[in-house]
């Protein structure tokens, strides 16, 4: 209620009036006065003015809100030293009393407005080589929003912690400053907001909202690809926010230049601040993540079991979590403890899939056979069309189907540079939409490789 009062006055009064009379007020509850909220004013002058001019209005709003008459008491005090305590033993506050709801509502309400999930924090985020740069950048931005790097652009494959990290930044800023206007939005939701602004001719309202944020977190921005009106709106929002030193943070499944169908002006803006990658975690980090998740879930997980799972589930963190959940369910279902034997049994199907996982050698052989060239041509330096194109197709597929990094793929193709792999991937993507034969071959190969 107090929060909505503040909002009301903020709208009704001009900024100076609001800052002079309303903002310095602090709500407190004194002992032995249940349901009698107390407002603390910083000096006599404010006290008298508020009493004469605002209290009647506040009481009317309170009566409407709680459906009963509530008297507000005004006292003098040092508003900065006064804390609203939740310790009921010292305050005798009944949980259902309007007074209690006066003080407990604002924070959850603000958090809801931000659409942040409070479970995604830096504390629950395990760090290793794969994500230490991304995490370091994220922490700097969280500590100095709008100042450190703007925008922060985090990219990487699925299930590698991008959403976790971007939300951790939002939560961190929120914890430090409940007043900050933070909004986490998935790119698809942003697109649908643009569509509905279109339908209702309400772009003014849309702009008013997005342009007034202190922190805007956009997840999975690759969904903006090809959506021109969305990109135009986002371009304005981005410029407005960044110029006002408001923080923009973006995640994406690829590097800005690789997002297909993204306007050049956005591509270049995405690189203005700091661009960091999250990579697939290495073995020890996968073990650490499993142990951390187990700890959060209050499960006892033996290190040997964690190693076993981490050794076999290599693709991403989401799958690791899935494996853990599966073992747990299996253990509850059978009543057996979470042992190595149980893990093997519970993950049988998953492991079978992993074993069939597509290796780069497999890709090279399959592509070479398909185009009726020698596998050796995959590593050779020859650049005639007849071998160069299949080689590019194989590199593109390797990037698509394996978790290998660009340098690793380059290495597997006769020690080529990672930019060669990137170029091949882009070239094939382009040809797949312009050349039906390349498109057909590519799809056929995917089909063969995926079995």
- Contact footprint for Mg ion (CB under 5 A): 162-163
How many angstroms separate the CA atoms of 131 and 378, rounded? 32
Q: Which does 158 bind (CB under 5 to 8 A by kind): ligand ADP, Mg ion, none?
A: ligand ADP
Sole window of 85-93, 154-162, 340-348, 399-407 interacting with ligand ADP (rule: CB under 6 A): 154-162
- Whole-number minimum distance, CB 424 to ligand ADP, in Å? 25
Among 100, 163, 171, 247, binds ligand ADP (CB under 6 A): 163
Element (H, E) at 274: strand 274-277
Q: How many CA atoms lie within 13 A of 261 on its CB side?
A: 12
Min dist. Cβ of residue 163 to Mg ion (A): 3
Locus of tokens 């989401």: 318
Identify which range of 22-30, 90-98, 118-126, 395-403 contacts ligand ADP by CB under 6 A.
Answer: 118-126
CB of 189 to Mg ion, least distance (A): 13
- Closest distance to ligand ADP from the beta carbon of 421 (Å): 22
Q: What does DSSP say about strands 38-41 and 73-76: parallel, antiparallel, or unpaired?
A: parallel
Q: Least distance to Mg ion from the beta carbon of 318, Å?
A: 9
Nearer to ligand ADP, 329 or 448 (CB): 329
- Other CB atoms within a 10 A radius of the CB of residue 170 amount to 28
Per the listing, tokens 């135009």 go with: 232
How far is residue 134's CA from residue 77's CA, in Å, rounded to a whole number?
45
Alpha helix segments (H runs only) across 278-316: 283-296, 303-312
Nearer to ligand ADP, 278 or 395 (CB): 278
Q: Considering the complex, state which of residue 186 and residue 423 has its C-beta at the smaller distance from Mg ion.
A: 186
**Is 230 among the residues that bind ligand ADP (CB under 6 A)?**
no
CB of 92 to Mg ion, least distance (A): 46
By CB under 6 A, is residue 126 in contact with ligand ADP? Answer: yes
Q: Which residue has the tokens 């409940």?
A: 178
Q: Closest-CB residue for ligand ADP?
A: 161
CA distance 41 to 25: 5
Cis peptide before 151 (omega within 30 of 0): yes
Binders of ligand ADP among residues 297 to 356 (CB under 6 A) are 317-318, 321
286 interacts with ligand ADP by CB under 6 A: no
Residue 267 vs 291, nearer CB to ligand ADP:
291
Closest CA to 190 of 227, 163, 165: 227
Q: Pick between residue 323 and residue 396 the one whose CB is nearest to ligand ADP.
A: 323
SS3 state at 249: strand
Figure out which of the listed residues 22, 102, 141, 160 binds ligand ADP, where binding follows CB under 6 A: 160
Minimum CB distance to ligand ADP, residue 418 (Å)? 21
Minimum CB–partner distance for residue 22 and ligand ADP (Å)? 40
In the complex with Mg ion, the residue whose CB is nearer, 161 or 410, is 161
Cα separation, 53 vs 47, in Å, equals: 10
Question: Which region among 28-36, 161-169, 193-201, 233-241 touches ligand ADP (by CB under 6 A)?
Answer: 161-169
Is residue 171 within the footprint of ligand ADP (CB under 6 A)? no
Among 9, 125, 155, 270, binds ligand ADP (CB under 6 A): 125
Q: How many residues bind ligand ADP (CB under 6 A)?
A: 16
Measured from the CB atom, the residue of 104 and 222 that comes closer to Mg ion is 222
Angle of the 55-66 helix axis to the 2-12 helix axis, nearest 10: 130
Binds 332, which of ligand ADP, Mg ion, none (CB < 5 to 8 A, cut-off by type)?
none
Element (H, E) at 184: strand 182-186
Q: 448 by DSSP, 3-state: which?
A: helix
Residue 163 marked in a binding site: yes
Q: Is 438 in the site for ligand ADP (CB under 6 A)?
A: no
Query: 17-34: b or e for each residue (b if 16 or more CB lie within 10 Å)?
Result: eeeebbbebbbbbeeeee
- Residues 130-149, interacting with ligand ADP (CB under 6 A): 131
Rounded to 5 degrees, φ, ψ at 261 are 75, 25
* 249 in Cβ contact with 172 (< 8 Å): no
For residue 121, say whether it is annotated as part of any ligand binding site: no
How is the chain split among helix, strand and coil, in percent rounded to 5? 60, 10, 35
- The structure tokens listed for 393 are 């197709």
| Full strand arrangement of the beta sheet holding 38-41 | 26-28, 38-41, 73-76
Q: Spell out the alpha helix ranges (H) of 119-185.
A: 132-143, 162-176
Binding-site member from 40, 46, 62, 164 for ligand ADP (CB under 6 A): 164
The reply to whether 296 sits near ligand ADP by the rule CB under 6 A is no
Question: Shortest approach of Mg ion to residue 281 CB, angstroms?
Answer: 16
d(CA 430, CA 446): 17
Which residues carry a binding-site annotation? 159, 161-163
Residue positions in the annotated binding site for ATP? 159, 161-163
> Which residues contact ligand ADP (rule: CB under 6 A)?
124-126, 131, 158-164, 289, 292, 317-318, 321
């Amino acid at each position: 209620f107090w929060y909505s009062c503040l909002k009301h006055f903020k709208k009704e009064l001009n900024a100076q009036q609001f800052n002079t009379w309303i903002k310095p007020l602090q709500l407190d509850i004194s002992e032995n006065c249940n349901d009698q909220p107390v407002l603390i004013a910083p000096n006599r002058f404010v006290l008298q003015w508020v009493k004469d001019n605002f209290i009647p209005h506040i009481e009317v709003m309170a009566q409407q809100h709680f459906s009963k008459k509530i008297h507000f008491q005004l006292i003098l005090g040092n508003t900065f030293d006064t804390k609203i305590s939740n310790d009921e033993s010292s305050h005798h506050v009944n949980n259902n009393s309007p007074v209690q709801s006066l003080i407990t509502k604002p924070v959850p309400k603000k958090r809801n407005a931000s659409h942040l999930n409070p479970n995604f924090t830096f504390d629950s985020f395990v760090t290793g080589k794969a994500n230490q740069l991304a995490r370091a950048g994220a922490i700097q931005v969280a500590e100095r929003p709008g100042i450190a790097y703007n925008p922060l652009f985090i990219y990487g494959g699925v299930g590698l912690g991008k959403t976790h990290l971007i939300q951790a930044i939002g939560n961190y800023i929120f914890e430090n400053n409940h007043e900050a206007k933070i909004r986490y939005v998935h790119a698809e939701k942003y697109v649908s907001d643009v569509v509905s602004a279109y339908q209702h001719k309400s772009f003014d309202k849309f702009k008013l909202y997005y342009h007034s944020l202190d922190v805007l977190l956009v997840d999975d921005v690759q969904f903006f690809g090809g959506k021109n009106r969305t990109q135009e709106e986002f371009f304005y929002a981005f410029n407005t926010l960044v110029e006002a030193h408001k923080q923009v943070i973006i995640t994406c499944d690829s590097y800005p230049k690789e997002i297909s169908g993204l306007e050049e002006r956005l591509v270049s803006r995405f690189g203005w601040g700091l661009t960091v990658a999250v990579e697939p975690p290495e073995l020890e980090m996968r073990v650490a993540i499993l142990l951390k998740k187990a700890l959060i879930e209050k499960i006892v997980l033996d290190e040997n079991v964690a190693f076993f799972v981490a050794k076999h589930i290599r693709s991403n963190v989401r799958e690791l979590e899935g494996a853990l959940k599966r073992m747990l369910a299996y253990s509850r279902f059978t009543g057996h403890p979470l042992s190595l034997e149980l893990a093997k049994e519970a993950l049988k199907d998953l492991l079978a899939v992993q074993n069939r996982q597509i290796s780069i050698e497999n890709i090279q052989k399959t592509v070479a056979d398909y185009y009726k060239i020698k596998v050796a041509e995959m590593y050779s330096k020859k650049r005639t069309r007849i071998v160069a194109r299949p080689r590019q197709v194989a590199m593109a597929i390797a990037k698509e189907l394996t978790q290998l990094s660009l340098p690793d793929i380059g290495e597997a193709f006769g020690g080529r540079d990672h930019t060669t792999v990137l170029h091949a991937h882009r070239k094939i993507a382009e040809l797949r939409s312009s050349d039906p034969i390349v498109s057909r071959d590519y799809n056929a190969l995917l089909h063969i490789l995926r079995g």
